[in-house]
Amino acid sequence: MIVVMKPGATEKQIAHVIERIQDLGLREHVIVGTERTVVAALGEKRDGAKQALENSEGVDKVVPILAPYKMASTEVKAEPTCVEVRDLKVGRGHLGVIAGPCSVESRAQILELATLVREAGGAGLRGGAFKPRTSPYSFQGLKEKGLELLAEARDKTGLAVVTEVMAPEHVPLVARYADVLQIGARNMQNYPLLEAAGESEMPVLLKRGPSATMDEFLLAAEYVLKTGNTRVMLCERGIRTFEDHTRFTLPLASVPYLHQTTHLPIVVDPSHGTGKASLVAPMAVASVAAGADGLIVEVHPDPEKALSDGFQALTPTAFRDMMTKCRTVANVVGRKFGV
């Protein structure tokens, strides 16, 4: 339920409503707006709760939240959320670009790419140090060494480091080096991980599971939001379909659909979404046209020699070219592109 306070409701009246919500065994989430304050009452539905709250002083009305995801919903917060960390701004008119290798491989590799990304107008540096690989025999990432290299690249360029955390027990370690915790597609419904990432108070980039519905995706985000951490970005990275001309199928209708249902910013990953380097730039441009708030893109100095996902990595030249095209389209759709 949402308790909509009257304009000019006093602090005392709001505090009383919060107390009543807690008495009813529900949890409050206060949103202070420019005109009025609303207090969301979250938890299992209770008989009589609506009436009990409606009668409190300073309350205008109590309306049910229809969406199963409460805090993510535009019903609770209509104004778009912008996630901001260092120069990376994602949402509310800002289109932030996160780019870098699939995996951190060496000092030279990550420093070269960080410079490239910065010069091309990106504000986030991606790179996996802990890699979720389909085969246990594939390169698993440089682990803490990789995190150290990412932090060094951040110190040199000012880019915000976006890197995956695969297990709840790794959250403190990854949070020490990263600016944004990436939760990978395979872990979208790893609830202990979502809670641990939320509790870290770090911004979170949550990737859509390849077979997750939009409701499942938003409910996964809700696990992070429920901890009180509101800095969540949703990432469409493609889903598994019968189609086999691409690695995954990238459903760009997710972008406007999510904008209608949630205030959280939407990032698109055209690299994993297509799995083919030649398709990445066109789909990045299409994502911008569809209203994406951010892009996360894989780039490698020498894709043929990449230790993971080389087939979908852009070369530096192709990346610069993609950035130019995306910037043009961003101007048309009224988004501030990159830095």
295 binds ligand PEP (CB under 6 A): no
Nearer to Mn ion, 49 or 142 (CB): 142
* Smallest distance, ligand PEP to C-beta of residue 290, A: 18
Q: Say which residues have a Cβ less than 8 Å from residue 200's Cβ, sequence separation at least 6.
A: 171, 172, 175, 181, 229
Tell me which of ligand PEP, Mn ion, none is bound by residue 270, counting a contact when its beta carbon lies within the kind-specific cut-off of 5 to 8 angstroms: none
Tell me which of Mn ion, ligand PEP, none is bound by residue 207, counting a contact when its beta carbon lies within the kind-specific cut-off of 5 to 8 angstroms: ligand PEP
* Smallest distance, ligand PEP to C-beta of residue 183, A: 8
Burial 242-251 (b: 16+ CB within 10 A, else e): eeeebbbbbe
What is d(CA 323, CA 293) in angstroms, rounded to the nearest whole number? 14
Tell me which of ligand PEP, Mn ion, none is bound by residue 41, counting a contact when its beta carbon lies within the kind-specific cut-off of 5 to 8 angstroms: none
Query: Residue 208's closest CA among 126, 167, 264?
Result: 264
* Alpha carbon separation from 78 to 22, 74, 197, 245, 259 (Å, rounded): 25, 4, 25, 38, 10
Q: Which residues bind Mn ion (CB under 5 A)?
A: 102, 309
* Smallest distance, ligand PEP to C-beta of residue 39, A: 36
* HSE toward the beta carbon, residue 266, CA cutoff 13 A: 28
For ligand PEP, the binding residues in 189-248 under the rule CB under 6 A are 207, 237
What torsion do the CA atoms of 298, 304, 306, 312 make, to the nearest 10 degrees?
Answer: 30
Choose, by CB under 6 A, the member of 96, 100, 122, 128 that binds ligand PEP: 128
Nearer to ligand PEP, 18 or 212 (CB): 212
Choose, by CB under 6 A, the member of 40, 116, 123, 185 that binds ligand PEP: 185
Query: Residue 42's closest CA among 264, 198, 223?
Result: 223
How many chain residues touch ligand PEP (CB under 6 A)?
9
* Smallest distance, ligand PEP to C-beta of residue 171, A: 16
Q: Which residues pair with 116 in a beta bridge?
A: none
* Smallest distance, Mn ion to C-beta of residue 271, A: 6
273 binds ligand PEP (CB under 6 A): no
* Smallest distance, Mn ion to C-beta of residue 108, A: 20
What is d(CA 262, CA 273) in angstroms, rounded to the nearest whole number? 21
Nearer to Mn ion, 49 or 185 (CB): 185
132 binds ligand PEP (CB under 6 A): yes
Burial 130-169 (b: 16+ CB within 10 A, else e): bbeeeeeeeebbbeeebbebbbebbeebebbbbbbbbebe
* Smallest distance, Mn ion to C-beta of residue 275, A: 9
Tell me which of ligand PEP, Mn ion, none is bound by residue 226, counting a contact when its beta carbon lies within the kind-specific cut-off of 5 to 8 angstroms: none
The residue with its CB nearest to Mn ion is 102
Choose, by CB under 6 A, the member of 118, 272, 327, 335 that binds ligand PEP: 272
122 binds ligand PEP (CB under 6 A): no
Nearer to Mn ion, 39 or 239 (CB): 239
Query: Residue 4's closest CA among 48, 37, 43?
Result: 37
Strands 2-5 and 37-42: antiparallel
Q: Show the site string, 64-103: x = touches ligand PEP by CB under 6 A, - = not.
A: --------------------------------------x-
| Sign of the torsion formed by the C-alpha atoms of 105, 108, 111 and 112 | negative
Q: Could you tell me how many residues make up the chain?
A: 339
Tell me which of Mn ion, ligand PEP, none is bound by residue 335, counting a contact when its beta carbon lies within the kind-specific cut-off of 5 to 8 angstroms: none
127 binds ligand PEP (CB under 6 A): no
Residues that bind ligand PEP (CB under 6 A): 102, 128, 132, 184-186, 207, 237, 272
